[in-house]
Amino acid sequence: MARLFYIHWHKDECLAEVDALREAGHVVRYHYESGEEAWKLLKQSPPEILVVSLERLPSHGRRVAAVAKETKKLRELPVVFVGGAPAKVEAAKKEFPNATFCSFEDLTKTVAAIGHAAPTEITPENRQAFTDMR
């Protein structure tokens, strides 16, 4: 399965989604507070897939994704946007035409499909880093 970084600006909703992704076998780091802190965590240990919820504060999530795309090291990182009001999804589609968009119900299978296509090298060291940190 894949190493993910999940951004959602509501703690309870974030944790519920993270639990579902972990149950499906993904290694997930997450963040639900400030964009600046999310960016620091993302750079610390880059994932294979960046997952951004558009349900709450979608402009904050889009900004984190935009900064990732502007960074040489993370430029090729697949981005999955999940949920969100139709207008917010359309705004994200215009800004990120190569991203993947899905519903919360389809999130687990969407990241699994992308994860199978991405090279996966999870070692005991980086698995622990992803498990221990938000």
CA 23-65-74 angle, 5° bins: 85
| pLDDT confidence bin for 118, thresholds 50/70/90 | very low
CA-to-CA distance for 30 and 72, rounded, in angstroms?
22
Q: Are 17 and 6 in contact (CB under 8 A)?
A: yes
| pLDDT confidence bin for 101, thresholds 50/70/90 | very high
- Which among 17, 22, 1 is positioned nearest to 112, based on CA atoms? 1
Quote the pTM value.
0.82
Average of per-residue pLDDT across 89-111: 93
Residue % of the chain over a pLDDT of 70: 83
**H or E segment and range at residue 81:** strand 79-82
All domains of the chain, ordered by start, with CATH? 3-120 (3.40.50.2300)
CA-to-CA distance for 27 and 128, rounded, in angstroms?
9
Q: Are 63 and 35 in contact (CB under 8 A)?
A: yes
